[in-house]
Each structure stands twice: as C-alpha cells, then as structure tokens.
Structure 1
Amino acid sequence: MTRFILLLAAVLSLSACNTIKGVGQDIKKAGETIEGAAKK
C-alpha cells in the first residue's frame, strides 16, 4: 500500500511539472509576441 501511495505521488508531481512548464512556455510566447508588436 505504501508503494502505491509513493508511486501515485511521483506520477502527480511529474504531471504537475509538465503543466507548470507548459504555462511557462505560453507566457514566454505571449511576451515575445508583445515585444514584437512593440518594436513595430
């Protein structure tokens, strides 16, 4: 039972990292778009 809980915690933490990474990439792209519009 303890192994199952540890495995579940590991899977959830990995999926959270992917979600946070995706949000960071979206924010970066939005910033680049705004920067490009400001240069025009």
Structure 2
Amino acid sequence: MIRKLAIAAGIAALGLTATACNTVKGAGEDIQSVGQAGEDAID
C-alpha cells in the first residue's frame, strides 16, 4: 500500500515538474518576444 502511494506521489511530482518547466520556458519566450518587439520599434 505504501509503495503504491510512493509511486503515485513520484509520478505526480514528475508531472508537476514537467509542467513547471514548460511554463518557465513559455514565459522566457514571451519576454524574449517583447524585447524583440521593443528593439524593432526603436530601429
């Protein structure tokens, strides 16, 4: 019983970690695109 619970918790943690990485990557891409748009506006 405890082993199944530990495995389920590990899988859930892995899923949350993968989601967080995608969110941070998306935020970085958004910031990069804003910077590019600002640079284009200045030029």
TM-score by length of 1: 0.95
Give the drift of 1:7: 0.2
| 1:10 matches 2:14 | yes
Q: Provide structure 2 residue ranges, at least 5 long, that are not aligned to the other structure.
A: none
Moved over 6 A (4+): none
Report how many aligned residue pairs link the two structures: 39
Q: Provide structure 1 residue ranges, at least 5 long, that are not aligned to the other structure.
A: none
TM-score by length of 2: 0.88
Identical aligned residues as a percent:
36
